[in-house]
Structure 1
Amino acid sequence: EDQQVWELIERHEVPRLLAVNKIDRVSEKAQLLPFVAAITETRRYDAVHYIQATHGKGLKALLADLERLLPEAPANYAEDELTDRSERFLAAEMIREQLMLRLSEELPYATTVEIEHFEQVGGLSRIAAAIWVEREGQKGIVIGASGAQLKAIGSQARRRMEKLFGGKVFLELWVKVRENWSDDDASLKQFGYTG
């Protein structure tokens, strides 16, 4: 894979920066010089940056170099345009986000969100969404004891939507089961995973 990437890079005359990370793990900094020399012997680099990304060391200079080397181009989107995705899509993503945050390791692999109804009237958005799982047992994980998990997921997602959409959101969530939906072409198409 690395060789293919290098062949692609070498076909184009583009600036090249070498970022050597985790320099904090090398006790004798002089050991870095032969390492970098071996790399720069075979490939051309416009600059070498020694960084420690987790602590931000050396990142300012690297970012300044990157900014200097990036070509200027006209903006693809208006300055106030946040995304090219619909509010319907963003609503589903916010529900998915809360599923992942609240359930993390417990989240069933085959879980998706489908917006069944999305209507905006005045400053109110009415959204009905289905959270699809593949087995009845997974439904219980998403709903939680006495519906507490689903309520928390919905409340957090609703707050995020209200902030983004700039108005009140009425959000209804249901958890539905469709066995093996992730292996079914019609279901994958319905949920937007295939064209």
Structure 2
Amino acid sequence: MKSGFVNIFGRPNAGKSTLLNALMGEKLAIVSHKVQTTRHRIKAILNEKDYQIIFSDTPGIIKPEYKLHEKMMQSVKGALEDADVALLIVDINDNWDECDAIFSALKLRVPAVLVLNKVDRTNKERITEAEAYFSSKSYVKKTVAISALTGINYKKFLQPILELLPEGQPFYEDDSISDLPEKFFVSELIREKIYEQAHDEIPYHTAVLIREFKEKETLTKIVADIIVHRETQKMILIGEKGTMIKKLGTSARLDIEAFLGRKVFLELFVKVKPKWRDNDLHLKEYGYGQ
């Protein structure tokens, strides 16, 4: 039996969340073309009869500008500390030297598999060059080329990971797919819709707080606050005669129903909390750190 933590690191928009979802065959991490979508460490548990892999999606590695960013980078630090294997994911069209500088700065103490992602957007020559470039780095034990979006060869991808994973008993029960509660994933699905439907800085200035999550006989009642910085952002999210918030709510409700497998009544409110990204009390209330 093999069991351990395989934690995913990379720059924003390298495809960490898309890879996690592809490996699990289920949407656990929200995805957006906008950078810095992932704010939390999300553990996903892959169970088979002879192994248990606990994958962790982590926020993209950035230079912190707010306390929120500091909390995000703390979750990256935590993932570094308990990893058995590191998955270092690179958008093959990014600057490789910059990626190397980030990975070298991690000071990894565990073996790493370098994942070249988005290979469907380049040619064989560049893939070969990238494999040679990263294979020469001391922190890289194996390299794998994939397109997480179009699909991965599951067994081929897992093989080098399983070779590096330690022997041990499972950490979680067989039927667990994550250590996070349903409420967390519901708040993330709402936040994903904000990334999809709102523009400019609004998604980055937004948090979601689930205030009520009640399972009734015929449906689940969910009440959530969408937190923004300024009154102008609140007005944009509500929209003229409530059109924006209705559209956002309908779209989120459909995804939440698909995730929970039952009917949902979703009520959304938009609230203004100035400078919440730099307020420790607000950050703790919204689920960012202790």
**TM norm structure 2:** 0.50
Question: In the superposition, relative to structure 1, how do residues 2 and 130 fare at CA in structure 2: closer, same or farther (>3 Å)?
Answer: same
In structure 2, the residue matched to 1:86 is 181
**Contact 1:106/1:141 (CA < 8 Å) preserved in 2?**
no
In structure 1, the residue matched to 2:146 is 53
- Output aligned runs, 1:124-139, within 5 Å: 124-139=219-234
| Superposition deviation, residue 108 in structure 1 | 4.3
Q: How many residues of Structure 1 are paired with residues of Structure 2 in the alignment?
A: 181
> Structure 1: any 5+ residue segments left out of the alignment?
none
- Name the SS for the 2:179 alignment partner: coil
**Contact 1:111/1:134 (CA < 8 Å) preserved in 2?**
yes
Match of 1:5 among 107, 114, 122: 107
**Contact 2:194/2:203 (CA < 8 Å) preserved in 1?**
no
Instruction: Looking at secondary structure, tell me which structure has more helix per residue.
Output: 1
**Contact 1:116/1:130 (CA < 8 Å) preserved in 2?**
yes
In structure 1, the residue matched to 2:165 is 70
CA RMSD, 1 decimal:
3.8
* Larger-Rg structure: 1
Letter of the structure 2 residue corresponding to residue 147 of structure 1: G
Letter of the structure 2 residue corresponding to residue 25 of structure 1: E
**Contact 1:108/1:138 (CA < 8 Å) preserved in 2?**
no
**TM norm structure 1:** 0.70
**Contact 1:24/1:52 (CA < 8 Å) preserved in 2?**
no
Question: In the superposition, relative to structure 1, how do residues 63 and 173 fare at CA in structure 2: closer, same or farther (>3 Å)?
Answer: same
- Name the SS for the 2:205 alignment partner: coil
Question: In the superposition, relative to structure 1, how do residues 4 and 159 fare at CA in structure 2: closer, same or farther (>3 Å)?
Answer: closer
Instruction: Looking at secondary structure, tell me which structure has more strand per residue.
Output: 2
Letter of the structure 1 residue corresponding to residue 125 of structure 2: R
> Structure 2: any 5+ residue segments left out of the alignment?
1-102
| Structure with more relative contact order (C-alpha pairs < 8 Å, separation 6 or more) | 2
Match of 2:136 among 39, 42, 48: 39
Comparing 79-88 with 57-66, greater Cα deviation is found at 57-66
- CA distance in 2: counterparts of 1:150 and 1:176, whole angstroms: 12
**Contact 1:130/1:173 (CA < 8 Å) preserved in 2?**
yes
- Name the SS for the 2:215 alignment partner: strand
